[in-house]
Chain A
Amino acid sequence: MKPEYKIISDLIEKDAKVLDVGCDDGTLMEFLKTNKNANIRGIEISKEKVQICIAKGLTVIEGNAEFDLKQFPNDSFEYVVLGQTLQAFINPEIVIKELLRVGNKAIVTIPNFGHWKVRLNLLFKGTMPITKSLPHDWYNTPNIHMCTIKDFVRFSKIINFKIFKSLALINENVSDINNSNLIFKNLFGELGIFLIEK
């Protein structure tokens, strides 16, 4: 289980109605079902992953989040979770707006491209960084819109959504991000976790 699942779970109230966008093999869904008694649905693009979810008794719709969120009416869910996939969309702006239309709140996690290892990798090697959380070569990566924690904070101002809570994950420890420590967290945070609202 990914370390951020516990953190995501802590952000969600008991019995909440939740949509996990890009729910993968349903691990987070199961976790939220058990720990928060969440009324949880998932949407997943891979047929194999959908099958795994069905085998776990989870309610999952095979679909592409970029196009298939349209089918949900406004405010269908209390929370919509988007785990480490924002960077893979053709149009992250539309996706964020859709998340906040479908859900009252959204929880978005992003692998931080501003992490020092990524920066050093590019500085010294002069090639596109390959790390544990970003294992692909530049030519076959699904991650076409990488951003940093700082970029995401700026993005919130540009497309006008509120960041309710921002957390950084460093060596499996979670800490708050605020204006005064943003530069530091942007350098050391492996993952940014944001609770956002319209």
Chain B
Amino acid sequence: MNIKQNIKTLIVEKPLKLDCGQTINNFPLAYETYGSLNNEKDNAILVFHALTGDQFVTGTNPVTKKDGWWSYAVGSGKSIDTDKYFVICANVIGGCMGSFGPSHENPKTKKIYGTDFPVITINDMVNAQINLLDFFGIKKLFSVVGGSMGGMQVLQFISNYPDKAKTAIPIACTSSHSAQNIAFNELGRQAIAADHNWSDGDYNSKNIVPDKGLAVARMAAHITYLSKKGLQEKFGRKLQERDDLKFGFDADFQIESYLRYQGSVFVDRFDANSYLYITRAMDYFDLVKQFDGNLSNAFKNTKAKFFIISFTSDWLYPTQENKDIVIALNAVGANVGFVEIESDKGHDSFLLNVPDFLKALKNFLDKSYAEKNS
């Protein structure tokens, strides 16, 4: 796959000490931008992507040829209006869209890293991306925005760099991964590890891919992104291109066929080892523990204006976990607004066409931006 020509990359020269103890430098950070930076350089929004996202937020993804993952929210005239704001998004380190990750070659051994790649954390991801501010000469971002793992990065970013963003929008996320979250991620990792092709992470040297394991991981995860009601309404017990049950193990039901399809398209665009590394980073995320059991201390030095958004049918990062962040922010007198959006679309709501969500996001950003200029 010759994707390099479509990918902008910043080589981060400055050494970055990872949470695991290793230090990396001269590593690639792949990014994309939309809109243009104004003269005052105060209209930049750093978007953080979720587990399987990448830097191609909107428009056509030049690698997958599909719509960018946040096309509903980002673009000309949309919630994150690219006519107005300069949107930056980087592929997280550990990822597989050009940033330093397990599919890169280890310069010491001249072999693909695989599982020799250092374990990275949400903190490491954010500390890598802060380099983009210097690169673009931005002193302070107008906003940091992200859903799911992107939301975790928003929280970590503000905690690490309390004066580097004017507003912060963590969406459908949590301040620490729950046992249930870890359990689902472990299920995915074990599905990959159980695929013989995985070869303890060394599949690249054998020119094979653990596509079956990765597809199962994706199928399991996909269920957690949807709601029971949403699934029932969309699929129910409808059969797939047949009038009756076939008394076998083919995909009789539409939901089976749908999940198999989701699994199969995912393996074309995602690296199995990256999946292991990024889910691990999410599992290790515990901002509460980082601040000795008091989440409020993560935010006590920030003047950023927060807007927290959750969804009624999100059972992966439920409203209460989002509200816990609101409570922690209120405890230190931070400026925080919160809304729970009514939606049947589960955790995935933030990626989909959910008008109430898109409206709230747009209004918050545009009003905050106008305030800044008044």
**CB within 8 Å for A55 and B338 given contacts A71-B326, A76-B330, A76-B333:** no
Q: Which residue of B lies closest to A70 (CB)?
A: B327
A71-B326, A71-B330 known; A56-B336 Cβ under 8 A: no
Q: Which residues of A contact B330 (CB under 8 A)?
A: 61, 71-73, 76
Partner of B305, one of A50, A56, A59: A59
* Contact, CB under 8 Å: A57 / B339: no
Task: Report whether B339 and A54 are in contact in the complex, using a CB–CB cutoff of 8 Å.
Answer: yes
Across the interface, do B327 and A55 meet the contact criterion of CB distance under 8 Å? no
At the interface, yes or no: A66 with Cβ under 8 Å from chain B?
no
Chain B's nearest CB lies how many Å from the CB of A65?
14
Number of residues from A at the complex interface, CB < 8 A: 18
Of the four ranges (under 10, 10 to 19, 20 to 34, 35 or more), the interface on chain B belongs to 20 to 34
Q: Are B336 and A59 in contact (CB under 8 A)?
A: yes
Q: Which residues of B contact A59 (CB under 8 A)?
A: 305, 335-337
Stretch at the interface among B85-93, B119-127, B358-366: B358-366
Establish whether residues B364 and A61, one from each chain, have CB atoms under 8 Å apart when the complex forms.
Answer: no
Q: List the A residue with the shortest CB-CB distance to B307.
A: A54
Report the bound CA distance from A72 to B364 in whole Å: 23
B246 contacts the other chain (CB 8 A): no
Query: Given contacts A55-B367, A72-B330, are A61 and B356 in contact (CB under 8 A)?
Result: no
Given contacts A51-B356, A55-B367, A56-B367, contact A61 B342 (CB under 8 A): no
Residues of chain A within 8 A of B363, CB atoms compared: 51, 54-55, 57
- Which residues 277-310 in B have Cβ within 8 Å of A in the complex? 305, 307
A62 interfacial contact with B, CB 8 Å: yes
Q: Is B331 an interface residue (CB 8 A)?
A: yes
- With contact pairs A59-B305, A59-B337 given, residues A54 and B367 touching in the complex (Cβ less than 8 Å): yes
In the complex formed, the residue of A with least CB distance to B368 is A57
Are A71 and B327 interface neighbours, CB within 8 A?
yes
Which A residues are in CB contact (< 8 Å) with B331?
A: 71-73
Q: Is B340 an interface residue (CB 8 A)?
A: yes
From B307, B326, B339, B371, give the contact of A51 (CB < 8 A).
B339
Further pairs besides A41-B335, A54-B339: 18, Cβ < 8 Å: A47-B341, A47-B356, A50-B339, A51-B339, A51-B363, A54-B360, A54-B363, A55-B359, A55-B363, A55-B367, A59-B305, A59-B335, A59-B336, A60-B338, A60-B339, A61-B336, A61-B337, A71-B330
Residue numbers of A with Cβ under 8 A of B are 41, 47, 50-51, 54-63, 71-73, 76
- What are 30 residue pairs bridging A and B, where the CB atoms are less than 8 Å apart in the complex? A47-B340, A47-B341, A47-B342, A47-B356, A50-B339, A51-B356, A51-B360, A51-B363, A54-B360, A54-B363, A54-B364, A54-B367, A55-B359, A55-B363, A55-B367, A57-B368, A57-B370, A59-B335, A60-B339, A61-B336, A62-B340, A63-B338, A71-B330, A71-B331, A72-B331, A73-B330, A73-B331, A73-B333, A76-B330, A76-B333
